[in-house]
Amino acid sequence: MRVLTIGNLSRRTGTKVPTIRYYEQIGLMPEPGRTDGGQRRYDAAALDRLSFVRHARQLGFSLDAIRELLDLADNPDHDCNDVDVIAQRQLRQVEQRIARLEALRGELQRMLHQCAGGKTSDCRVLEVLRDHSECLADHET
pLDDT digits (tens, 9 = 90+) for 17-66: 999 999 999 999 999 999 999 999 999 999 999 999 999 999 999 999 99
Q: Whole-number mean pLDDT of the chain?
A: 89
Q: Please list the alpha-helical segments (H only) found in the chain.
A: 6-13, 17-25, 44-58, 63-73, 80-114, 124-130
Strands 33-34 and 40-41: antiparallel
Residue 95 has pLDDT above 80, yes or no: yes
The pTM of the whole model exceeds 0.85: no
pLDDT at 141: 46
Q: CATH second-level architecture of 1-61?
A: Orthogonal Bundle (1.10)
Asked if the model's pLDDT at residue 118 lies above 80, the reply is no
